[in-house]
Structure 1
Amino acid sequence: MTATLTRLPAADTLRVATSGSVDDGKSTLIGRLLYDTKAILADQLAAVARDTSRRGGEGLDLALLTDGLTAEREQGITIDVAYRYFATPRRRFILADTPGHEQYTRNMVTGASQADLAILLVDARHGVVAQTRRHAALVSLLRIPHVTLAVNKMDLVGFDRAVFERVRDEFAALTHSLGFEGVTTIPVSALEGDMVVDRGTRMGWYTGPTLLELLETASTARAALGPFRYPVQLVSRSRYGERADSRGYFGRVENGAVAVGDRVCVWPSGVTAQVAQIVTLDGTLETAGAGRSISLILDRQLDVARGDLITHAGDAPYVTDAFGARLAWLSATPLDPRRTYLVKHGTAVTKARIAAIEDRLDIHTLHPVPGETPLAANDIGRVRIKAARALPLDRYADVRATGSFLLIDEATLATVAAGLIEDLPRG
């Protein structure tokens, strides 16, 4: 068996994050997707077969295709975020198999932060559990556009429609309280393959899409819409064409699009210029959209540095040093309001402090608990932040890339929290 190689436009890539409680079958589900779409090389299959036999099993343990760490294989759980890539004739996929254990919730945040679609798995026998609620809260917090509930292990409940509908309704009540716009629920058997790639014959009562059908048709257009946002990564003199002595501002278009002739503004300084050229390794472009790495050349020399943000002149971000945010605390060391942290926003890094802790999310009731109790590992809470200098910001609900940031320990440089900007001053 050989991997399927498909030539598709680079923009047509769906980023998928899977999450669920321990033993819900995330790794097996991804393994099934890869196996049934013939995205596994022969030598990989041979290695999985050997490992399966060594563990006393028969055939292929598909979970071994994603449980890459030795510790994971020994424990039978996912610890790190395992990324897998495959393609069908319709599109490319990047799959992030994120940890299910509460101890590694921070890894789930990492894997899901750039996802276009989240697959939340539940065991049909157990339904919604505490970790399901935690992951659903994080998916809601990260505003992942598409959410799919995969009710797995239907083979262990006799492919019973009533069991599926009970779990579906239980999850619907949960997501309603979190403000989800819509959830697609699919009954699957990752172990035997029903409703993953092929429909199978044992759940004729289900008439919706298979998991792969859903993945192939989900929209990825959100980042292409909305305001143009371009964090500057590097400034260098251009060596191209008529403007060989001009400065080029290197980076990636994080949102929206830019075209030659557009009037743009550099933040936080607020100076404006016109786009003279858009340069890539493959030559010049007239326009560039979200996800494209480019060099912008402007019609005049400006004082631009790494960490600045370029936008359209008529689409200004909020430039402020004080804002409200929701934090997913990732560190084993609790938040300390007396300490100074580093805020990494786009390509900019500046010092900041936590001016106030407003509340903490009760993961069981999904209601905020007011108070100034410091956030601990895996807590989610709202805070107010005071930065050492003004930053060009957006609300996360409006622009994911410029509405999010990382909080870093100033002493160890370890990432301690992922932040989503919610409250910005009006004006």
Structure 2
Amino acid sequence: MTDERSRRGLNPNAHTFIPNPAARPFIPGQPYVFTSQLPPMYHHPPPPIAQGTYPTYQQYGQMEPTNVVSHMAPTSTAPPIYHQPVTTTAASLVEMGSSVSLREHLSPSQQQQQQIPVDAWDDEVDEKVEIIETEKEMIIREVVKNDSPPVEEVQESVKPTGLETMKPENIGGKANNLSATRETADEDAALPVKFKQGVYIDDSSRKEHVNMVFIGHVDAGKSTIGGHLMYLTGMVDKRTLDKYEREAKDKGRESWYLSWALDTNDEEREKGKTVECGRAFFETDKKHFTILDAPGHKSFVPNMISGATQADLAVLVISARRGEFETGFDRGGQTREHAMLVKTTGVKYLVVLVNKMDDPTVNWDEERYKEIQNKLTPYLRKCGFNPKTDIIYIPVSGLTGAFLKERPNAEFGSWYTGPCFIEYIDTMLPSISRDYEGPVRVIIADKYSDMGTIIIGKMESGVVIKGQTLTVMPNRTSIQVIQLWSDDVEVDKVVSGDNVKLKLKGIEDNDILPGFVLCSPDALCHVGRVFDAEVVILDHKSIIASGYSCVLHIQSATEEVVVKAVICTIDKKTGNKVRARFVKQDEKCIMRLESSESFCLEAFKNFPQMGRFTLRDEGKTIAIGKVLKVVE
């Protein structure tokens, strides 16, 4: 207790108050002010001092331990002599264990040297950043770039990892990026994602695989359109459809029977609401499609995000019925949020199906169609979609099938001269680029146990064959793939872009979580819990500063994160970066985020599929961002 009180500037053997050297200078006649909250012992103001007397205090370096008591004794000379206030150096504060920011004792030039440069992420070579945490404040100090030992010394000091035979120039790496400060096996084994496997894929023998997610406000007709597509493409026969119709009629849900092809569990059929992200598939003449039917209710947005992360194409279903479009778009519905989320997850192309055009309140009215188009296009442009190249509008009826595969009678929608939906996605949709030669990356979306551990996910890059050995990240478990399915069809090989199920040997399903990644053993993905990111604040009424916590959605993973520091804001027009301590709505910034648990991620410039993320709080999306650098 004596040491603690003495360290904070209070003599335990005297009633005289001595200012804390780490605080602001004491000014006679004025109340004593701390730079932060009072220490735990100062529950009350300091004891009064006799009139005309003031505590004397000297320079910190001049204080003699043997004369502490006499030094603390007040003087009673008249007139009083005002001694110089205590001045301290940064070094002395560190020695004293000060809880106040060192930045207050540095010149502006010294402060600038201690901060992360706002353009640190523009350099090709990453800089090492050291985080110094004091009791009250975090200070970010940059370390000199060239503090790493030569490459030869690094190679001697790092333990063998089995990668010594792979030269940096052969895997797209750089020798000067090596560092002797690596402490984890994850960093030692992580290789640039440009590592090539050199496999050959015969594209002529297989149809192009496109993953398609249906999004939109609740009751817009997503599941109905999906079910009708499966019927029109022969994936659901007439007998099964008649069975669904009878069962739906018995439950008083006659108009919902088409959606039962995707809504398979009793809860979804009873309530008429999709909860889980349904899966189905169908084929056209040239392509193979996987349907991901996302839930439209705001309570199930996390499930919708999980489906959107696996998609290549998004189909936004809009209800043209009077009042329903306005509810979904203008009154806080999910139309806006879903459109923003699919763009955030990397979906480039968007098909807008204006559904329920056969409703009596619409009756194939062209003016209603144009009204919806004119209201929706400016927002989609704001989300990042190019209206000329990325978006197409098609009026449809999910119940009758009009303009899904064939045109209806001339009396219905004769004013529309564009393609039908299946015609567009089969022949007019631009091809999706795939990385067959990259390292294996299978992002796990779900898992279950069925005479073994089975995972469901999407192949983001590479090729997996039966019997291949892979590594589950972040827990670094080695497994063997013993069975493979692509859309419920057992195969011997799956490639980038496929929506897959894999049976694994060597791991239990309890040891796998959504967001885990299957990787090539010689090219593991990065794992971290602290990272720098470029973030755009979409919807948040108050400011966001250091200490703010929210939920991070990155690929299929969900993590709680804390803002460790707001580093700078970025002018959206000029790109100029300005130092900042907080950020507010509609601003772009660079911030450092920290999670309590490590998870799989990559810098956006290296692997975009694992570098995009969404921040949500209180049931709404507040920000979107991309990873700039994995710090630790």
Give the TM-score normalised by structure 1. 0.62
Equivalent position to 1:144, from 347, 357, 365: 347
| 2:385 maps to which of 174, 180, 184 | 180
1:50-199 pair list within 5 angstroms: 50-56=246-252, 61-124=257-320, 125=322, 126-127=324-325, 128-129=329-330, 130=332, 131-156=334-359, 157-181=362-386, 182-199=390-407
Bigger proportion of residues as strand: 1
Write the deviation string for residues 310-353 of structure 1: whole angstroms up to 9, x where unpaired: 569xxx9999953216599xxxxxxx958899998899x99975
Contact 1:86/1:93 (8 A) holds in 2: yes
What is the one-letter code of the residue matched to 2:496? Answer: A
* Alpha-carbon distance between aligned partners in 2 of 1:86 and 1:356, rounded to the nearest angstrom: 47
Instruction: Pick closer, same or farther for the CA change 1:17–1:355 going to 2, 3 Å.
Output: same
8 Å contact from structure 1 (residues 309, 392) kept in 2: no
If asked which structure has higher relative contact order (CA below 8 Å, sep 6+), I would say 1
TM-score scaled by length of structure 2: 0.44
Partner of residue 255, structure 1: 461
- Cα deviations by residue, 1:278-297 (Å, 9 ceiling, x for unpaired): x9999xxxx99635899xxx
With over 3 angstroms needed to count, the CA separation of the structure-2 counterparts of 1:100 and 1:120, relative to structure 1, is same
Shift in Å, 1:160: 1.0
Find the counterpart in structure 1 of residue 425 from structure 2.
215
Tell me what 1:32 maps to.
228
Q: Percent identity?
A: 26
Could you tell me whether the CA contact under 8 Å between 1:229 and 1:402 is conserved in 2?
A: no
Deviations 1:4-63 (A, max 9, x none): xxxx95562111100111111111111111112221045532430221220246688212
- In the alignment, which residue of structure 1 is the partner of 2:435? 224
Q: Is residue 393 from structure 1 mapped to residue 596 from structure 2 by the alignment? A: no
Q: Distance in 2 between matches of 1:354 and 1:142?
A: 21
Pair 143,165 (structure 1): closer, same or farther in 2 beyond 3 Å: same
**5+ long unaligned stretches in structure 1:** 1-7, 234-250, 259-266, 269-278, 295-304, 329-335, 360-369, 374-380, 408-415
Per the alignment, residue 248 of structure 1 pairs with: none
Shift of 1:172: 0.6
Residues 253, 290 of structure 1: 8 Å contact kept: yes
Once the two structures are TM-superposed, the CA of residue 207 in structure 1 deviates from its matched residue by: 1.5
Deviations 1:200-244 (A, max 9, x none): 12112112121111221323423338x8343599xxxxxxxxxxx
CA distance in 2 between partners of 1:153 and 1:61 (Å) = 16
| Structure 2 unmatched ranges of 5 or more | 1-203, 444-456, 465-472, 475-480, 485-492, 503-516, 538-545, 569-580, 616-620
| Equivalenced residues, count | 332
Distance (whole Å) between structure 2 residues aligned to residue 342 and residue 172 of structure 1: 28
Moved more, 163-172 or 386-395: 386-395
Give the direction of change, closer, same or farther, for the CA distance of 1:73–1:357 in structure 2 (3 Å limit): farther
Q: Secondary structure at the residue paired with 1:147?
A: strand
Change in CA separation of 1:103 and 1:195 when aligned onto 2, cut-off 3 Å:
same
What is the letter of the counterpart of residue 416 of structure 2?
Y
Relative distance call for 1:280 and 1:75 in structure 2 (3 A) is closer
Structure 2: distance between partners of 1:151 and 1:26: 11
Report if aligned partners of 1:228, 1:253 keep a CA contact under 8 Å in 2.
no
Which structure has the bigger radius of gyration? 2
- Cross-structure match for 1:4: none
In structure 2, relative to structure 1, the CA distance for the partners of 1:184 and 1:340 (3 Å cut) is: closer
RMSD: 4.9
What is the alpha-carbon distance in structure 2 between the residues aligned to residue 219 and residue 153 of structure 1?
Answer: 27
**Aligned partners of 2:303 and 2:528: how far apart in 1?**
31
User: Does the 8 Å contact 2:531/2:628 carry over to 1?
Assistant: no
Equivalent residue letter for 1:179: G
Q: Measure how far apart 1:150 and its partner are.
A: 0.8
Q: Tell me, yes or no, if the aligned pair for 2:244 and 2:258 is still in contact at 8 Å.
A: yes
Distance in 2 of aligned mates of 1:253 and 1:84: 17
Change (3 A) 1:346 1:62: closer
Alignment of 1:357-376 (within 5 A): none
Mapped to 1, the partners of 2:600 and 2:366 lie a distance apart of 52
Matches within 5 A, 1:305-344: 322-324=531-533, 337=547
5 Å-filtered alignment, 1:2-41, equals: 9=205, 12-41=208-237
